[in-house]
Amino acid sequence: MKVLVTGGAGFIGSNFIRYFLKSHPDSSILNLDKLTYAGNLENLAELQTALNYRFVRCDVADAAQVEQIVQERFDAIVHFAAETHVDRSIAGGREFVQTNVLGTFTMLDAARRHRVPRFLHVGTDEVYGSMKPGEFAREDSAIEPNSPYAASKAGADLLARSFWQTYQYPVITTRCSNNYGPYQFPEKLIPLMIANAIEGKKLPVYGDGLNERDWIFVEDHCRALDRVLEAGLPGELYNIGYGQPVANIEIIRKLLRLLDRSDDLIEYVKDRPGHDRRYALGTERIQREVGWAPAVDIDEGLKRTVEWYRGNSGWMARVCGGEYQAYYEKHYTRRGETLAAL
Ligand code: NAD
Ligand code: TYD
């Protein structure tokens, strides 16, 4: 299979590329990424010289460049590229609309015209909005996005839906809960708390710390996407989650225990505006129709995550110091691996 992955230099995309090429060594991947602050090619350093992996720097909202790339024949597109951090979307949402809405449209439009036979659009559970205690969102639940990030992802999901309804273009959408694991940018809760705890800095907990998220280990998400690519139905929507929401403060206490640090590092700070109280997903459809179930529970996943960050302090230092952003110029442009070389 020849696959075009967008946003493959980010957290989940890079984990997916590694997972996919390991599980399907006969396949090849072209990774298309704009390399925003969240894109880090060092995440895939071990693949840099692999014959079945290529990288191209491109903005998913740039119709002319996307056209040039998609006209090369692909068997599938897996679309991760997005602006992803809720706090940044609160500070300014324009990039979110540009990339998540217009970028998704641009990818869908090129893929449809060039008849790419499968398009997997990677979405988020945040589009359902906040769930009440005991309530779990199903694929037919209403979408009620509350942050500019969630609203822009909901817009992308609706465009994906329209391409199936209008053109019978075989797009599949997934909506996954909060991921954690290796290579996550330290702006999100778990890597930020690990980084701060290692350095003995305070851990900022928004509000009362009782907001719940249905944390899933990134490898479980990658396996789900691989299965959906293989067995998902065109036009279908699949929730992906662990199925057990956990309060933020509980996650933080678990991390502090794993890192052998005191709870005194916890600092309650002003709440995030419009902070969703609880995300929770019903995942019966993917379990029943695709035959996927999560395998890594939160204790095992956090242990593996903490071990990874402890063992990769150089990665974290280069991310925090900004050196990671020079990786592309250093390793790619010199070798002429630009769009023109495709
Ligand atoms: P990330 O922020 O770590 O990575 C995003 C990647 O997209 C980066 O490599 C960035 O350079 C690239 N990108 C951004 N704008 C681009 C553009 N205009 N053109 C091309 N590339 C661009 O994100 P992530 O956490 O890996 O999330 C990947 C996808 O999964 C997103 O669509 C996100 O909405 C979805 N998702 C994430 C989570 C989560 O918990 N992280 C949960 C569910 C769904
Ligand atoms: P985050 O990782 O930003 O993911 P999302 O907002 O997409 O769910 O945040 C996860 C939860 O952790 C969310 O309830 C907000 C909270 N949080 C904190 O309490 N402190 C922090 O510094 C961050 C980044 C998040």
Per-residue pLDDT tens digits for 287-321: 999 999 999 999 999 999 999 999 999 999 999 99
Between the alpha carbon of residue 164 and those of residues 7, 64, 82, 170, 237, the distances in Å are 23, 23, 21, 6, 11
* Residue 52 maps to a domain: yes
pLDDT at 3 over 90: yes
Spatial distance between the Cα atoms of 81 and 100, rounded to a whole number of angstroms:
8
Per-residue pLDDT tens digits for 58-106: 999 999 999 999 999 999 999 999 999 999 999 999 999 999 999 999 9
CA angle centred on 65, ends 60 and 67, rounded to 5°? 90
Q: Determine the atom of ligand 1 nearest the C-alpha atom of 7.
A: 7
Q: Does the reported pTM lie above 0.95?
A: yes
* Residue 148 maps to a domain: yes
* Residue 207 maps to a domain: no
* φ and ψ at residue 142, rounded to 5 degrees: -65, 150
* Residue 106 maps to a domain: yes
| pLDDT, mean over the chain | 96
User: Is 19 part of the annotated catalytic residue set?
Assistant: no
User: Looking at this protein, which amino acid is placed at residue 196?
Assistant: N
Write the DSSP assignment of 164-183 as a string of letters.
HHHH---EEEEEE--EESTT
How many CA atoms does the CB half-sphere of 322 hold within 13 Å? Answer: 0
Residue entry with tokens 């701060």: 196
83, 125, 226, 236: the catalytic one is 125
Write the DSSP assignment of 266-279 as a string of letters.
EEEEPPPTT---B-
Confidence category of residue 342, pLDDT binned at 50, 70, 90: very low
Residue entry with tokens 């933080």: 252
Tokens of 22: 């390991």
* Residue 258 maps to a domain: no
Tell me how far the alpha carbon of residue 280 lies from the centroid of ligand 1, in angstroms: 21
Which domain CATH number covers 280? Answer: 3.40.50.720
pLDDT at 173 over 60: yes
Domain of residue 9, residue span: 2-180+217-244+274-296+322-331
- pLDDT value of residue 332: 84
pLDDT at 339 over 80: no
pLDDT at 258 over 90: yes
How many CA atoms does the CB half-sphere of 333 hold within 13 Å? Answer: 7
Write the DSSP assignment of 127-194 as a string of letters.
GG-PPPTT--B-TTSPP---SHHHHHHHHHHHHHHHHHHHH---EEEEEE--EESTT--TTSHHHHHH
pLDDT at 226 over 90: yes
* Residue 174 maps to a domain: yes
Confidence category of residue 331, pLDDT binned at 50, 70, 90: confident
Tell me how far the alpha carbon of residue 7 lies from the centroid of ligand 1, in angstroms: 6
Mean pLDDT is lowest, of 213-217, 269-273, 323-327, for 323-327
* Residue 339 maps to a domain: no
User: Is 214 part of the annotated catalytic residue set?
Assistant: no
Spatial distance between the Cα atoms of 10 and 154, rounded to a whole number of angstroms:
20
* Residue 304 maps to a domain: no
Domain count along the chain: 1
Region 313-331 average pLDDT: 93
Question: Does the beta carbon of 214 lie inside 6 Å of ligand 1?
Answer: no
- pLDDT value of residue 243: 94
**Spatial contact of 95 and 154, defined as CB atoms under 8 Å apart:** no
| Composition of the chain by helix, strand, coil, percent to 5 | 45, 15, 35
> Residue 46, Cα to own-chain centre: how many angstroms?
20
Region 101-130 average pLDDT: 98
40: three-class secondary structure by DSSP: coil
User: Is 297 part of the annotated catalytic residue set?
Assistant: no
User: Looking at this protein, which amino acid is placed at residue 131?
Assistant: M
Confidence category of residue 341, pLDDT binned at 50, 70, 90: very low
pLDDT at 166 over 80: yes
- pLDDT value of residue 334: 56
Tell me how far the alpha carbon of residue 189 lies from the centroid of ligand 2, in angstroms: 5
33, 42, 109, 126: the catalytic one is 126
Residue nearest to atom 14 of ligand 2 (CA): 211
Q: Determine the atom of ligand 2 nearest the C-alpha atom of 85.
A: 3
- pLDDT value of residue 336: 47
